[in-house]
Amino acid sequence: MQYNDCMFADKNRLRNDKDIERALKSKKSVFDAAAGLKYVANEKPDSRVTVVVGIKVSKNATDRNRVKRQYREIVRLLLPSLKTGYDMVILVSKPALTLDYEQKRERLTKVFKKSGLLNAQT
């Protein structure tokens, strides 16, 4: 396994502040106790994702980065099953710190299903 196999492709990274702001202002959202999803159509052939873990979740940067890495990996594995053409912002809440990886995966999958962004075969 190469290092690049563990990362989002550039085409799937939502980096532009304007695009993130546009997704955050969108009325389309689904929330769980541990994480929420705000999304908007982007008129591009690929979906783009970013994970936001604010300082209110934990003042410890190590904890925030660990949670962010876990959610990015979950999304990376789900990406082939997600509908294309959307910008998505995953907003992580404090309860996510107490969940293990498998619980985070299950909950985020439910959030994607509830939003209708996860294709039916998954």
Report all structural domains of the chain as residue ranges with CATH numbers, in order of start: 3-115 (3.30.230.10)
| pLDDT in the model for residue 9 | 86
Q: Is 96 exposed, middle or buried (0-12, 13-18, 19+ CB in 10 A)?
A: buried
pLDDT in tens, the chain (122 residues): 455 566 778 899 999 999 999 999 999 999 999 999 999 999 999 999 999 999 999 999 999 999 999 999 999 999 999 999 999 999 999 999 999 999 999 999 999 999 999 986 64
* Confidence (pTM): 0.91
| pLDDT in the model for residue 122 | 46
| pLDDT in the model for residue 53 | 97
- Distance between CA atoms of residues 86 and 74, nearest Å: 17
Dihedral of CA atoms 13, 108, 6, 101 in degrees, nearest 10, equals: 140
